[in-house]
Amino acid sequence: MRPIVEVINEHSERLMAHDQVVMVYESRTAEGEPCLKIGISCSQDELTVDLPERLEGYPVIVVETGEVAPR
Amino acid sequence: MNRLPFRSARLAAMVLLALGVSVGLYACSQDNGALNDQSGITKPDAQAATFTVNHPEIQRVMRIQDAATPDLMGADPLVVGTATGMGPNGDVVIKVYLEDALPPGKLPGQIEGVTVEQHVTGRLVAFKGPPPMDGGNNGADPRAPQTAPVKMGTSGGWRYDLANGFCCGGTLGSLIQSGGTKYILSNYHVLYADIVPGGNGQVASAGDEVIQPALIDVGCNANSSLNIGTLVNNGGSLPGANIDAGIAQVTPGMVDESGAILDIGTISSSTVAASVGQDVKKMGRTTGLGRATVDGLNANVNITYENECAGGTAFTKSFTGQIITTNNRCNFLDGGDSGSLMVEDVTTDPRAVGLLFAGSVTCNKRAIAIANPIGDVLSHYNASMVGN
């Protein structure tokens, strides 16, 4: 598999083009496996875009971060 | 800057007036001419550079203002404050702040020969964050006024950061040094984000003072704060760079030059890269000493900035390579904590990890905080951390 940072940079612009996607980042699953996390501004029930379960072999976890702003 | 809860400051303003505090009742205005007397008159323009709070003419008008304030405040419930300031022609005037316009003749045009200017500011309000939390260790209050030399990890901001009915502020995070000169490190959006004359008639500029505490913690009255540093040319990183950083040159004697952070102490001059699962801590103006865990790296995220305190949209910045931490119910990062230095969670001389600048607006269990990698910040300024 490609390094995860390359996968993020490859796909984040496309993913973030959707209004409900606020960020894409590298993280770990509960089992310690490298994964991508996608922050969304709404609840998963309200999500109107289909997000992948895996990207280039890496699992994708959707996180309800809400909107983000300077704090 | 940040979206802090606010409350009416009218009561506080009236108390200040009752105590005879003549200068510095700070109102925010939708009237472009009303706020050239930021904090009274301590922000003179170039043509009035000799006018400071100690100037004899200022002192004379302040005495007249003090004497007249009870009558002015009692003239109508719509009068919300008074101040001594600069008129449009550079003369010293008494300014009367109004919640709404008064009929002609309601207030005098002059008092003892001093022009009385009326400014419709609306109600006076101050951005206020919730009480600081201390992580359960009964830590110091980061919002409290410090005695010089002040520590980092405390409330601070641009001295003139008020507009549109609000005043703003953030956290003075840490000290960095470059070429033998020491600088306070905070965020662009804490120190440099006022880029339009807009609601206060000015923009953040090199030479402007940085204060401790921030206006949000002194009822929008900068005269209750210490000037501890000054903005510098190219001190703000946005919109160009991939970091939200702002620096201010330390005023000699006003800052603890060991770089000590309140409730954290001295830090290391070395830094460490973030890693997933890393335990980190920070000291911020709003939530105090807080702890979190790094949850993500290489984050791509879009952040929208305002063009002044409570202003309009300035631009949206697409950041790459950012650090994500857990922020359960915003206990780690909330409005006003911006500028905090995120360090590794060790007791002695922790190494810097990142510069906190953004986070979730909704404070639920899944809230996150976002930091610039500290290495990127230091590279931008060709600087190093001040520490052991």
CATH number at residue A19: 3.30.300
- pLDDT confidence of residue B121: 47
Instruction: Establish if A33 belongs to a structural domain.
Output: yes
Instruction: Establish if A22 belongs to a structural domain.
Output: yes
How many structural domains does chain A have?
1
- Domains of chain B plus CATH, in order, are 6-125 (3.30.300.50), 126-250 (no CATH), 279-379 (2.40.10.10)
B338 vs B56, which has greater pLDDT? Answer: B338
- pLDDT confidence of residue B54: 58
In the predicted structure, residue B22 carries a pLDDT above the cut 80: no
Please name the member of B2, B335, B366 whose beta carbon is closest to the beta carbon of A65: B366
Over residues B55-71, the mean pLDDT reads 78
Cis amide bond preceding B103, omega within 30: no
Give B108-125 pLDDT, tens digit per residue: 999 999 998 886 544 433
Q: How far is A66 from chain B (nearest CA, A)?
A: 6
Tell me the residue range of the domain where A35 lies.
4-63
- pLDDT confidence of residue B66: 75
Asked if B304's CB is within 8 angstroms of A69's CB, the reply is yes
Instruction: Establish if A26 belongs to a structural domain.
Output: yes
Name the closest residue on chain B to residue A18, using Cα atoms: B302
- pLDDT confidence of residue B55: 67
Q: Judge whether A70 is closer than 8 Å to chain B, CB to CB.
A: yes
| Residue position matching structure tokens 């919640």 | B99
Instruction: Establish if A70 belongs to a structural domain.
Output: no
Lowest mean pLDDT among B8-12, B218-222, B333-337, B347-351: B8-12
Sheet containing strand B114-120, edge to edge, reads B79-86, B92-98, B114-120, B110-111
The answer to whether residues B41 and B26 touch, using CB atoms and an 8 Å cutoff, is no
- pLDDT confidence of residue B379: 98
3-state secondary structure B164-226: CCEECCEEECEEEEECCEEEEEECHHHHCCCCCCCCCCCCCCCCCEEEECCHHHCCCCHHHCE
Residue % of chain B over a pLDDT of 90: 65
Give B219-244 pLDDT, tens digit per residue: 999 999 999 999 999 999 999 999 99
- pLDDT confidence of residue B75: 86
Q: How far is B47 from chain A (nearest CA, A)?
A: 35
- pLDDT confidence of residue B33: 27
Instruction: Establish if A36 belongs to a structural domain.
Output: yes
Q: Judge whether A23 is closer than 8 Å to chain B, CB to CB.
A: yes
- pLDDT confidence of residue B103: 85
Name the closest residue on chain B to residue A7, using Cα atoms: B298
Instruction: Establish if A41 belongs to a structural domain.
Output: yes
Lowest mean pLDDT among A46-55, B51-60, B194-203, B300-309: B51-60
- pLDDT confidence of residue B100: 73
Over residues B10-15, the mean pLDDT reads 31
* Site from B334, B360, B364, B365 to mutate, A interface, most A CB atoms within 10 angstroms: B360
Give B82-111 pLDDT, tens digit per residue: 666 666 676 787 877 666 788 888 899 999
Residue % of chain B over a pLDDT of 70: 77
Give B265-299 pLDDT, tens digit per residue: 999 999 999 999 999 999 999 999 999 999 999 99
The answer to whether residues B384 and B176 touch, using CB atoms and an 8 Å cutoff, is yes
Q: Judge whether A64 is closer than 8 Å to chain B, CB to CB.
A: yes
The answer to whether residues B80 and B107 touch, using CB atoms and an 8 Å cutoff, is no
Give A19-29 pLDDT, tens digit per residue: 999 999 999 99
Give B329-346 pLDDT, tens digit per residue: 999 999 999 999 999 999
Tell me the pLDDT of chain B averaged across its residues: 82
Cis amide bond preceding B213, omega within 30: yes
Instruction: Establish if A24 belongs to a structural domain.
Output: yes
